[in-house]
């Protein structure tokens, strides 16, 4: 029986999820790209999870034994790192450790498509998180991805996300102006975030890391995906309220906001207008 999306999520629920990360200190293993590795590691730590960036053959599979969640990010796909991804995923399957996929740039080149297809064949993912273009490309829907950025219009992104969730069994997060969270049976749109997030390189990777941190602490992939995406967006809004001169100072504000976010902050939120069922 598939998990249902927690569309009745309250501020208290979000607070409890954040507290679960602090209480459990989940170890999140990242096999990610070097461009955003530092931001990913720091943000994981700011959520009160523990980051480790073990991404070489041999070490990756061994480190996975102690992980609470594993994030595979295809922002760079050298042969050794891809081999390490499969090794870590094999260990995860043996030990029932949830694996999150961030298919960065899939749809941009045949090489990235081949890497993503091989991972989808070999790995049972708990959550798949990508931008509108990446999720559409994985779902077999026409998409336009330029480099690692999604461009164009995606009026049926909910259907694409549900289709991918149905074919993989994963909870799917399609990130954009409004994030879409989907299972094979349903989809919701989330109203959380700020336009400044799109002006900082790596926020997509940081969202993937956030969801992995929540998944490492929570039992259900749907709650981890929805609560992680909401908390990330809310932090993005609060960071924009602080004094900043541009993207660089906003980036610092964002890290500081996540580090300073408390369960009490989230418990006070009214989330009724932030979660809209769309399918």
- Residue 172 confidence (pLDDT) above 70: yes
Over residues 59-116, the pLDDT tens digits come to 999 999 999 999 999 998 988 999 999 999 999 999 999 999 999 988 888 898 999 9
Hey, how many other C-beta atoms are within 10 angstroms of the C-beta on 246? 10
Binding residues: 53, 129, 175, 202
66, 25 contact by CB (below 8 A): no
Alpha helices in 64-156 (DSSP H): 79-95, 110-122, 132-138
**CA–CA gap between residue 55 and residue 74 (Å, rounded):** 12
Longest dimension (CA), the chain: 49
Q: How far apart are CA 162 and CA 240, in angstroms?
A: 32
- Among candidates 279, 11, 12, 14, which has minimal Cα distance to 161? 279
What's the pLDDT band for 148 if we cut at 50, 70, 90? very low
265 vs 60, 214, 216, 256, CA distance in Å?
36, 17, 22, 14
The per-residue pLDDT for range 112-129, each reduced to its tens digit, is 899 999 999 999 999 999
pLDDT score recorded for residue 276 = 95
- pLDDT value for 154: 61
Distance CA 149, CA 276 (A): 25
d(CA 30, CA 22): 19
Q: What is the pLDDT of residue 68?
A: 98
pLDDT at 141: 80
The contacts of residue 100 (CB under 8 Å, 6+ apart) are 69, 70, 71, 72, 125, 126, 127, 128, 129, 208, 211, 212, 215
Annotated binding site for substrate: 53, 202
pLDDT confidence of residue 109: 85
Question: Both ends of the chain: CA-CA distance in Å?
Answer: 19
155-167: pLDDT as tens digits: 789 999 999 999 9
Could you tell me what percent of the chain has a pLDDT over 70? 94
The residues with which 196 forms a beta bridge, in sequence order, are none
Q: How far apart are CA 11 and CA 229, in angstroms?
A: 14
pLDDT at 151: 43
pLDDT on residue 105: 85
pLDDT at 143 over 70: no
Across the range 34-42, mean pLDDT stands at: 96
Annotated binding site for ATP: 129, 175
For the residues 173-177, what does the mean pLDDT come to?
93
| pTM for the predicted model, two decimal places | 0.94
- Predicted pLDDT of residue 107: 80
Q: Which one, of 250, 152, 149, lies nearest residue 193 by Cα?
A: 250
Ordered domains of the chain (ranges, CATH)? 11-271 (3.40.1190.20)
pLDDT, residue 149, reads: 44
Q: Over range 250-274, report the average pLDDT.
A: 97
Q: Are 211 and 194 in contact (CB under 8 A)?
A: no
Q: According to the model, what pLDDT value does residue 142 have? A: 61
Averaged pLDDT, 28-45: 96
Q: What percent of the chain has pLDDT over 90?
A: 85
Query: pLDDT tens digits for 183-240?
Result: 999 999 999 999 999 999 999 999 999 999 999 999 999 999 999 999 999 999 999 9
Answer positive or negative: Cα dihedral of 126, 132, 137, 141.
positive
pLDDT of the residue at 152: 47
Helix (H, G, I), strand (E, B) or coil at 262: coil
Residue 134: phi and psi, rounded to 5, are: -65, -45
Q: Could you tell me which of 122, 116, 129, 50 has the C-alpha nearest to residue 89?
A: 122
Q: What is the pLDDT of residue 156?
A: 85
């Amino acid at each position: 029986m598939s998990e249902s999306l927690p569309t009745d999520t309250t501020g208290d629920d979000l607070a409890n999820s954040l507290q679960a990360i602090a209480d459990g200190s989940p170890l999140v293993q990242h096999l990610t790209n070097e461009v955003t590795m530092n931001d990913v590691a720091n943000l994981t730590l700011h959520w009160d999870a523990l980051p480790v960036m073990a991404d070489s053959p041999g070490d990756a599979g061994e480190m996975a034994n102690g992980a609470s969640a594993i994030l595979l990010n295809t922002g760079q796909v050298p042969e050794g790192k891809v081999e390490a991804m499969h090794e870590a995923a094999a260990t995860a399957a043996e030990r029932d450790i949830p694996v999150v996929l961030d298919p960065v740039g899939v749809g941009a080149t045949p090489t990235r498509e081949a890497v993503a297809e091989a991972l989808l064949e070999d790995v049972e993912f708990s959550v798949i998180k990508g931008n509108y273009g990446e999720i559409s490309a994985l779902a077999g829907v026409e998409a336009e991805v330029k480099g690692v950025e999604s461009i164009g219009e995606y009026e049926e992104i909910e259907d694409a996300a549900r289709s991918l969730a149905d074919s993989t069994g994963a909870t799917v997060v399609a990130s954009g102006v409004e994030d879409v969270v989907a299972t094979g049976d349903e989809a919701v749109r989330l109203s959380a975030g700020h336009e400044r997030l799109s002006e900082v390189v790596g926020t997509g990777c940081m969202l993937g890391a956030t969801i992995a941190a929540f998944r490492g602490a929570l039992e259900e992939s749907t709650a981890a995906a929805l609560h992680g995406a909401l908390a990330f967006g809310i932090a993005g809004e609060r960071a924009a309220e602080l004094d900043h001169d541009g993207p660089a100072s906003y980036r610092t504000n964002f890290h500081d906001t996540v580090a300073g976010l408390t369960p009490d902050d989230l418990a006070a939120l009214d989330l009724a207008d932030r979660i809209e069922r769309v399918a």
